[in-house]
Amino acid sequence: MRGLLLATVLTLVLLASPAAADTAPSLPEPTGRQPVGSTSLYLKDTSRPDPWVPSVSYRELMVSLFYPALWAHGPKARYMTPAESAALLADSGIPDVPPDLLSRVRTHSVRDAWPAGCAHSLPLVVLSPGYKKPRATLSALAEDLASHGYVVAVVDHTYETLATSFPDGRVAGCASCDIPHDPGFWQKLEQGRAADVSFVLDELTGPHAKWRGAYLLDPSRVGMAGHSAGGASTLPTMVNESRIRAGIDIDGTSDTPLLAPGLSRPFMFLSHQLTPTLCQPGVNTPWEQDWQQLTGWKRWLEVAGTVHASFTDVGLVADHLGIDIGASTTGERTQAITRAYINAFFDQHLLGKPRPLLDTASPLYPELVFCH
């Protein structure tokens, strides 16, 4: 289920008209009542070398924070940098698409807006993107969570994306792309992401927090979700990191099996649809093995008419450009379903608000199937 890479999807832009390809897509509006702000953080972990470039004696990360803001007006946050957009488009082999197309995606979060909330009141959710995907591709979900009162930290895992731009103008490429992608590679990636997330939590909730709104965070209410490789990393991260109270794997197949005694904290699988359905035994063995080791609250959900890329902004951009990625459920509809169930999950398990949506099929979302 690492499946459809952004580069593959964007290759299909050739099917779109030049006018459509030159028109900047827009993210769907957040569904919550609170204005959303966002900012970028540069973090440097000097306690460990970079796992992909051993000559670098530290680990650098870029993190986008989305949060409830005091105001809704002001310059909107940039979706990604022109260098990141150009790298993704170049990797797709498209010569005629404007290289900055993806840097012009319209967002709804106000750049560097002042955060809103009471001290130690806001839950924190960490999001981890798919392999080779920039953190920007989870922006629609992050903005929506923030509009409902969450602080969301979306992590770029350096050298695992095609391009990561740093504040000093440097752009890090995908050093890990040159390494054979055997099971050992994916296990290393998942454990590396677990270390990245733990470091981000330290930098946001520790005594010398790197964000001016860190005093708003409630460090006892932390969740994590990820897509593809980011989703596959969520369970290993929770095993290593007791601060994460609840987690979600969005369409990611793990190479690090969950071993006894398992995990008693709430966990949810959210998958695209396959034929035969992923709900059937023997179709997704890693998830079935992990499912048996989950001893607490758990759900396994499948969304009909979707493909691997549907759950991220890739599906939204594809629809905007008139590209068929193989999904019969639109990107906007899939995003609405994803937002609804992820919000409900974190509301119930971080805020203690029961959400019946998680208990049984809903007529509002007939595409959603409860497995197991």
CA distance 69 to 37: 5
From first to last of its 372 residues, what are the pLDDT tens digits of the chain? 544 344 444 434 333 334 444 578 899 999 999 999 999 999 999 999 999 999 999 999 999 999 999 999 999 999 999 999 998 877 765 556 788 999 999 999 999 999 999 999 999 999 999 999 999 999 999 999 999 999 999 999 999 999 999 999 999 999 999 999 999 999 999 999 999 999 999 999 999 999 999 999 999 999 999 999 999 999 999 999 999 999 999 999 989 999 999 999 999 999 998 766 777 777 788 999 999 999 999 999 999 999 999 999 989 988 887 878 899 999 999 999 999 999 999 999 999 999 999 999 999 999 999 997
Say if 310 falls within a structural domain: yes
Say if 160 falls within a structural domain: yes
Say if 64 falls within a structural domain: yes
Nearest to 313 by CA among 77, 112, 106: 106
Q: Which residues contact 331 (CB under 8 A, 6 or more apart)?
A: 310, 314, 315, 316, 317, 318, 319
pLDDT at residue 320 in the model: 85
Phi, psi of 256 (to 5 degrees): -115, 95
Q: What residue numbers bound the domain in which 52 lies?
A: 6-371
Say if 313 falls within a structural domain: yes
CA distance 199 to 46: 10
pLDDT at residue 8 in the model: 41
Say if 30 falls within a structural domain: yes
Say if 1 falls within a structural domain: no
pLDDT at residue 273 in the model: 85
CATH code of residue 267: 3.40.50.1820
CA distance 59 to 221: 26
pLDDT at residue 5 in the model: 40
Q: What is the 3-class SS of 106-158, one letter each residue?
A: ECCCEECCCECCCCCCEEEEEEECCCECCHHHHHHHHHHHHHCCCEEEEEECC
Strands 267-272 and 298-303: parallel
| CB 230, CB 127: distance < 8 Å | yes
pLDDT at residue 19 in the model: 40
Q: ∠ CA(354), CA(232), CA(51), 5° rounding?
A: 130
Phi, psi of 32 (to 5 degrees): -85, 175
- Any idea how long the chain is? 372
- How many domains does the chain fold into? 1
pLDDT at residue 171 in the model: 97
Say if 289 falls within a structural domain: yes
CA distance 51 to 57: 9
CA distance 48 to 203: 15
Nearest to 350 by CA among 147, 193, 156, 126: 126
pTM: 0.93
Strands 59-68 and 36-45: antiparallel
pLDDT at residue 94 in the model: 53
CA distance 125 to 118: 17
pLDDT at residue 275 in the model: 66
- State how far the alpha carbon of 98 is from the alpha carbons of 6, 89, 161, in Å: 16, 9, 20
